[in-house]
C-alpha cells in the first residue's frame, strides 16, 4: 500500500507517537499529531536505547545525532549492594553481528530528536490539543478534540500512554495491579566520573541503578524498594531525598555517594499492566505504553515503542489495506512484547533476593559465569537486543 494518500492522526506526543509520526510521514503519509500537554518535552530522566532501539533511530536518519547526544555503553556491571563488590560485568559493546550502539540518553534529548524528525518530515503538530473521542469504525475514523473540533483520518494511532483512552476503546478498561514496589528517579551533578555503563546494586528487597548522561555531566539514578504501601502511578510525584536515604541506609559507600548528591527526587508506584489482547479496532491501532506498559527492569519501554513505530510503517507498506496491515502488525508485536514484559518482571525478583544464603549462592553463580563465559551470559538477552525491526520478516 502506498502511503502518500494515507491520512493519519496520532494521539500523543511521547516517544511512541513521535516515532510513529516520523516513520509514516517519511514514507509519504499525511500525518497530524495532537498532544494534550502545552509543550512536547519531558522532565529530567534517563533511559537506555539498546541496539534494537538504535536500529530504528538509524532507519529514521537519526543515528549520528543520537550518538552525539548519548553515552555509548560498554557494559553493565552488577554489584552486591551491601558490600559494593562487583558480582559480574556483562559486555554490551558492539559486535560484528550488530552495528547498532547501546546508548544512555536523557529522555528529553530523545524526545527533542524525534520532535525534530517529525517537523522535518512535515507532520502537523499541535499541542494543548487533547483527543477526547475516537470513532474508529467505517470508511474513515472520526476524531474529536477537547475544543470541539472534529476531523477524519484513514488511520488513528493511539499513543496516549499508560492511561490510554485509545486502549479503553480497543479492549475496555483493565485495572492495573500494584506490584508492591516503588521507584525513585533522580538526576545528580558533580558526583565525579561515572564509567560509561549502567551499574546495578542489588540487595534484599531493593536495588539501585545508575549511569551517566550527556557526556557524564549528569548521572541518572533509579532506585526501587519493595513496600506494602500503595503509591500513585506516574513519576512526577516529588519526594524527600531523606526517604531515599533511609531506604538504603547501611548499604555500600558507592550507593551512599550517589544518595548524597541527590537534591531533588521523584517517586512513583510500579504497577503491572497486561499487554493488550487486542491492538486494533477498525482504523485505530495502539503503540507504545498504550499497548504494552512494562516494568523498568529490562530497559525496554522506549525501545519497544521505537520498534512499534517502524513495524507499523512496514506493515502498512506491505499490506493491501489498513485492516490487513493492522492485523499483521498486531500478530508481530504481541508475542514479542509479552515476552519482554515477562522478562522484566522476572528481573525484578532476581535483583531483590532477601535470604542471605540464597543471595550468596545466586551472586556466586553470577560471578562464576562472569569469569568463565561473560559473553555467553550476555547473549542470554540477544533475542531482545539483536532484534532489528527494520529487517525482521513480516511473516
**pLDDT at residue 311, rounded to an integer:** 98
pLDDT tens, residue by residue, 137-194: 999 999 999 999 999 999 999 999 998 999 999 988 777 888 999 999 999 997 888 9
**pLDDT at residue 185, rounded to an integer:** 94
pLDDT tens, residue by residue, 234-256: 667 889 999 999 999 999 999 99
pLDDT tens, residue by residue, 252-305: 999 999 999 999 999 999 999 899 999 999 999 999 999 999 999 999 999 999
66-80, 252-266, 358-372: least confidently modelled range? 358-372
- Cβ burial of 332 (10 Å; 0-12, 13-18, 19+) is buried
Query: Shortest CA distance to 26 belongs to which of 308, 310, 303, 323?
Result: 310
**pLDDT at residue 253, rounded to an integer:** 97
**pLDDT at residue 40, rounded to an integer:** 82
In a domain, 388, yes or no: no
Query: Shortest CA distance to 297 belongs to which of 190, 222, 197?
Result: 222
Backbone dihedral region for residue 84 (phi beyond 0: left; psi -120 to 50: alpha; all else: beta): left
DSSP 72-114: E--EEEEEETTT--EEEEEE-S-BTTB----EEEEHHHHHHHH
Query: Shortest CA distance to 109 belongs to which of 259, 217, 224, 237?
Result: 217
pLDDT at 134 over 80: yes
In a domain, 32, yes or no: yes
**pLDDT at residue 16, rounded to an integer:** 98
d(CA 193, CA 191): 7
Question: Which position has the higher pLDDT, 231 or 194?
Answer: 194
Residue corresponding to grid cell 489482547:
277
Query: Shortest CA distance to 182 belongs to which of 230, 221, 220?
Result: 230
Confidence band of 350 (pLDDT split at 50, 70, 90): confident
Cβ contact 244:258 at 8 Å: no
pLDDT at 378 over 80: no
322: CB partners within 8 A, 6+ apart: 1, 6, 154, 155, 283, 316
**What are the C-alpha distances in Å from 85 to residues 9, 206, 219, 233?**
51, 16, 20, 33
In a domain, 186, yes or no: no
In a domain, 354, yes or no: no
327-334 mean pLDDT: 97
**pLDDT at residue 96, rounded to an integer:** 46
Q: Give the β-pairing of 7-11 and 30-34.
A: parallel
User: For the chain, how many structural domains are there in total?
Assistant: 1
Regarding pTM above 0.75, the answer is yes
**pLDDT at residue 39, rounded to an integer:** 86
**What are the C-alpha distances in Å from 88 to residues 190, 364, 375?**
27, 9, 11
In a domain, 266, yes or no: no
60-64, 118-122, 146-150, 375-379: least confidently modelled range? 375-379
340-369 mean pLDDT: 72
CATH number at residue 148: 3.50.50.60
333-346 mean pLDDT: 94
pLDDT at 95 over 60: no
Q: What are 271's strand-pairing partners?
A: 178
pLDDT at 97 over 70: no
Confidence band of 132 (pLDDT split at 50, 70, 90): very high
93: CB partners within 8 A, 6+ apart: 73, 74, 75, 102
In a domain, 383, yes or no: no
Compute the radius of gyration of the chain from its Cα atoms: 21
Catalytic residue positions, numbered? 211
Percent of the chain with pLDDT over 70: 90
Domain that holds residue 49: 7-73+100-175+276-349
Confidence band of 85 (pLDDT split at 50, 70, 90): very high
Cα dihedral: 250, 254, 257, 263 (round 10): -90
In a domain, 337, yes or no: yes
Cβ contact 292:307 at 8 Å: no
pLDDT at 110 over 90: yes
**pLDDT at residue 366, rounded to an integer:** 62
Per the prediction, the chain carries an average pLDDT of 91
The 10 Å CB-count burial string (b at 16+, else e) for 92-105 is beeeeebebbbbbb
Amino acid at each position: 500500500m502506498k502511503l502518500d494518500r494515507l491520512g493519519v492522526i496520532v494521539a500523543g506526543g511521547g516517544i511512541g507517537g513521535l516515532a510513529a509520526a516520523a516513520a509514516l510521514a517519511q514514507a509519504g503519509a499525511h500525518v497530524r499529531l495532537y498532544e494534550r500537554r502545552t509543550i512536547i518535552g519531558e522532565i529530567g530522566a534517563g533511559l537506555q536505547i539498546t541496539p534494537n532501539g538504535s536500529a530504528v533511530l538509524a532507519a529514521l536518519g537519526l543515528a549520528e545525532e543520537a550518538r552525539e547526544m548519548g553515552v555509548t555503553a560498554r557494559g553493565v556491571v552488577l554489584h552486591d549492594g551491601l558490600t559494593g563488590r562487583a558480582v559480574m560485568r556483562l559486555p554490551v559493546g558492539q559486535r560484528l553481528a550488530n552495528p547498532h550502539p547501546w546508548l544512555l540518553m536523557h529522555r528529553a534529548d530523545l524526545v527533542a530528536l524525534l520532535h525534530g524528525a517529525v517537523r522535518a518530515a512535515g507532520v502537523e503538530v499541535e499541542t494543548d490539543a487533547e483527543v477526547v473521542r475516537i470513532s474508529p469504525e467505517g470508511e474513515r475514523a472520526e476524531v474529536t478534540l477537547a475544543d470541539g473540533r472534529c476531523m477524519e483520518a484513514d488511520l488513528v494511532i493511539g499513543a496516549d500512554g499508560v492511561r490510554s483512552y485509545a486502549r479503553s476503546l480497543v479492549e475496555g478498561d483493565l485495572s492495573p495491579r500494584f506490584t508492591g514496589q516503588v521507584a525513585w528517579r533522580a538526576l545528580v551533578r558533580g558526583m565525579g566520573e561515572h564509567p560509561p555503563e549502567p551499574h546495578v546494586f542489588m540487595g534484599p528487597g531493593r536495588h539501585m541503578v545508575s549511569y551517566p548522561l550527556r557526556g557524564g555531566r549528569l548521572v541518572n539514578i533509579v532506585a526501587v524498594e519493595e513496600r506494602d504501601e500503595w503509591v500513585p502511578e506516574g513519576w512526577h510525584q516529588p519526594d524527600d531525598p531523606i526517604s531515599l536515604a533511609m531506604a538504603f541506609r547501611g548499604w555500600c559507600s558507592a550507593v551512599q555517594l550517589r544518595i548524597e548528591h541527590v537534591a531533588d527526587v521523584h517517586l512513583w508506584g510500579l504497577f503491572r499492566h497486561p499487554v493488550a489482547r487486542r491492538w486494533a479496532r477498525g482504523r485505530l491501532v495502539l503503540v507504545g505504553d498504550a499497548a504494552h506498559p512494562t516494568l523498568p527492569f529490562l530497559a525496554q519501554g522506549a525501545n519497544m515503542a521505537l520498534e512499534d513505530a517502524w513495524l507499523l510503517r512496514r506493515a502498512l507498506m506491505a499490506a493491501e489495506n489498513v485492516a490487513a496491515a493492522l492485523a499483521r502488525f498486531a500478530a508481530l508485536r504481541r508475542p514479542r512484547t509479552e515476552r519482554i514484559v515477562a522478562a522484566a518482571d522476572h528481573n525484578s525478583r532476581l535483583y531483590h533476593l532477601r535470604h542471605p544464603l540464597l543471595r550468596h549462592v545466586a551472586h556466586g553463580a553470577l560471578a562464576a559465569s562472569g569469569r568463565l563465559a561473560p559473553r555467553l551470559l550476555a547473549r542470554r538477552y540477544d533475542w531482545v537486543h539483536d532484534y532489528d525491526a527494520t529487517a525482521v520478516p513480516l511473516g
